[in-house]
Amino acid sequence: MRKYGIAALAGLLTATAAWADGFEEMQSQVKEFTLDNGLKFLVVERPDSPVFSFTTYVDAGGVDEVHGVTGIAHMFEHMAFKGTPTIGTKDHAAEMKALEKVDAAWAAYEKELDKEYDADAIKLDELMAAFKAAQKEAQEFVVSNEFTKILEKNGVQGLNASTGLDRTWYYYSLPSNRLELWARLEGDRMTNPVLREFYVERDVVIEERRFGESSPTGRLFEDMITGAFVAHPYGTGVIGYAADLERITRQDAWEFFDKHYVASNMNVVVVGDIKVGEVRKLAEKYFSGVRSGEDPLRVRTTEPEHKTQIRMIREEDSQPIYAVGWHIPGRNHPKWYAYELLGDVMATGRSSRMYTRLVKEDQVCSQIFGGVGFPGNKYPNMMVLAGFASSDSDPYQVESVVLEEIKRIVTEGITEEELEKVKTMNKAAFVRSVRSNQGLANQLALYQGMLGDWRRLFRSLDDLESITVEDVQEAARAVLKKENSVVAMIVKPEDAES
CATH number of the structural domain 29-89+142-286: 3.30.830.10
The pLDDT score that the predictor gives to residue 32 is 97
What is the rounded (10 degree) CA torsion for 161, 214, 311, 408? -60
pTM above the 0.85 mark? Answer: yes
Q: Is-same-fold flag (29-89+142-286; 305-493)?
A: yes
Looking at domain 305-493, which of 3.90.1150.10, 3.90.110.10, 3.30.830.10, 1.10.3720.10 is its CATH number?
3.30.830.10
pLDDT score, position 156:
97
**pLDDT for 2:** 38
- Digits of tens for pLDDT over the chain (498 positions)? 334 444 444 454 554 555 556 677 788 999 999 999 999 999 999 999 999 999 999 999 999 999 999 999 999 999 999 999 999 999 999 999 999 999 999 999 999 999 999 999 999 999 999 999 999 999 999 999 999 999 999 999 999 999 999 999 999 999 999 999 999 999 999 999 999 999 999 999 999 899 888 889 999 999 999 999 999 999 999 999 999 999 999 999 999 999 999 999 999 999 999 999 999 999 999 999 999 988 898 899 999 999 999 999 999 888 999 999 999 999 999 999 999 999 999 999 899 999 999 999 999 999 999 999 999 999 999 999 999 999 889 999 999 999 999 999 999 999 999 999 999 999 999 999 899 999 999 999 999 999 999 999 999 999 999 999 999 999 999 999 999 999 999 998 876 665
Which own/partner pairs from 292-298 qualify as long-range (CB within 8 Å, at least 24 positions apart)? 292/37, 292/38, 292/262, 292/263, 292/264, 293/258, 293/259, 293/262, 293/263, 293/264, 293/265, 294/262, 294/264, 295/262, 295/264, 295/265, 296/59, 296/60, 296/64, 296/259, 296/260, 296/262, 296/265
Show me where the domains of the chain are located: 29-89+142-286, 305-493
